[in-house]
Structure 1
Amino acid sequence: MDLADIDASAWAELETAAAAPQSGFRHVNLCSVDAEARPQARMVVLRAAGRATRCLEFHTDTRSRKWLELSANPHVAVLGFCPQARLQLRLQGTVERHGPGSERAETAWASLPGRTRMTYAGGPPGDERAFEAMDELPEPHDEAEGKARFGVLSFRARTLDWFELRQQDNRRALFRYDETGAFSHGRWVYP
C-alpha cells in the first residue's frame, strides 16, 4: 500500500465508524487544553466524518467544560484505536463550535433519536447528582431544554499520525492537509 492508499483507508475507517456503532473508531478521545494549560481528554462519539474536507463531527452539551475550553483554545487532538484493525489514528487540528439555534446544530438535533436528545435535558455535565433508587425512573425532562443546550463540534484535521501494530515491523506514517482539507504531504516515519 502506498501513502495515498493508507490516507484514503484511514478516512474510510472514520467514515464507516460515524455510521456504525460497533466500529472500533466510533468512540474516540477528544483532547483539549483547559484554562490552566492542563490537557483534558474525554471520550466522544464520532457522529460524522468527511474524507474530502478532513472533518469530524461530535455533539456536546454547551454547558460542558470542553465547550468553554474550546471557546478559548480551539486547537485539539483526536485519538482513536481500533483493536480489530490494530490501528491507531491521532489527528491534530481545530474545532469550530456550532451552538443552539445554529443551522448545524438544528440539523444534527433533528437527526437524533429521542433517547439521545434526553441526554442534554438533565443537569449540567460535572454537577453533583443524586442517583435515584434502581427501581425508580427519573423524572422526565422536557426535550426542548436539551435542544437549548445542544452544540456541535466540527473538527478539521491538519495532521494525521497513522500507526499500525503488526506482529513484526510496526508501521507509522504522517500526513498533512491544507486549510481546505486537501492532502499536502505524507511520509513514512519510524514507529
Structure 2
Amino acid sequence: MEADHDAIPPNLAAIDASAWRELETAAASPQSGFRFLNLCSVDSEARPQARMVVLRRADGPSRVLEFHTDSRSPKWLELSANPNVTILGFSTQTRLQFRLQGMVELHAAGSDLANAAWDRLSTWTRTTYTGGPPGDECASDVIDEAVLPKPADQAEGKPHFGLLIFRARTLDWFELRRQGNRRALLTYDETGALAACRWVNP
C-alpha cells in the first residue's frame, strides 16, 4: 500500500517514529544495539566495501545520521567519488534490522561543521586520528601489547578528522520474530518527511 503525506497508515507512522527514536538513543548510548553500524560504499572498481562505524548523532526529523572518519582513509576517497551509501544495523536486544539508503556529505577538517564535531570529542578519541594513514603498513612494535605506546599529541589528529553526514531517503525496516517476521519500506522526501510507506514480504 503506497501512502501520501495525508494518508500514512498509523501503524507504519509509529514504526517510523520508533525506528528513529532507536537511532537517536543509540547515538547517546554505547550500550545500544545500533551504536555500531555498517557503512557500505562502492570503490573505484565498483566493488562493494563495508565497515563498522560509530553512530555519533541522529536526528529523526531531518533523517540525518552523523559519523566520523579519517580523511586519509579509503572510504573517504570512495565517498568523495560516489556519495551513495547504505547503512545497515541490527540490534539483538530488539531483534530489529534497519537498512537505510541515501547520500553522505563530506566535511573536511577546517570546515565549520568538522571543527564543531572535533571540539565535542574526548581527548582519547582525538588521539585516534594521529599516526599513519588507515590501511598503511605499520611496524610490529606498534601492535606489541607489551610496548607502551608513545603519548600522542591530539592536535596532530585534527587535520585528518573528517565528518560524514548521511541523509536517508529510504528505510528498510525488518523485525525478526518467532512467528511472522515483519518488514516495511519507508521513503522520505527531500525535507525528511515520510512520503510513502508500505508493508512488504520479509
Q: TM-score, normalised by structure 1?
A: 0.98
Correspondences of 1:134-173 after superposition (within 5 Å): 134-173=145-184
Which shifted more, 137-146 or 11-20?
A: 137-146
CA distance in 1, matches of 2:194, 2:53: 26
What corresponds to 1:187 in structure 2? 198
Unpaired runs of 5+ in structure 2? 1-9
Does the residue aligned with 1:93 lie in a helix, a strand or coil?
strand
Superposition CA RMSD, Å? 0.9
AA matched with 1:13: E
Q: Percent identity?
A: 68
CA distance in 2, matches of 1:134, 1:143: 21
For the pair 1:96 / 2:105, whether they are aligned, the reply is yes
What corresponds to 1:10 in structure 2? 19
- Deviation at 1:180? 1.5
- Deviation at 1:141? 2.5
CA distance in 2, matches of 1:131, 1:171: 48
CA distance in 1, matches of 2:177, 2:131: 44
AA matched with 1:60: T
Unpaired runs of 5+ in structure 1? none
Per-residue CA shift, 1:36-66, capped at 9, x if unaligned? 0000000000000000100000000000000
For the pair 1:50 / 2:80, whether they are aligned, the reply is no
Q: 2:118 aligns with which of 109, 134, 142?
A: 109
- Deviation at 1:138? 1.6
Per-residue CA shift, 1:75-124, capped at 9, x if unaligned? 00000000010000000000000000111111111111111000001110
AA matched with 1:92: Q
CA distance in 1, matches of 2:156, 2:108: 14
What corresponds to 1:29 in structure 2? 38
Q: 1:73 aligns with which of 75, 82, 93?
A: 82
Q: 2:73 aligns with which of 56, 64, 70?
A: 64
AA matched with 2:168: A
Per-residue CA shift, 1:132-155, capped at 9, x if unaligned? 332321222221220010010000
Runs of 4+ in 1 over 6 A off after TM superposition: none
- Deviation at 1:127? 0.6
- Deviation at 1:131? 3.6
AA matched with 1:167: R
- Across the two proteins, how many residue pairs are aligned to each other? 191
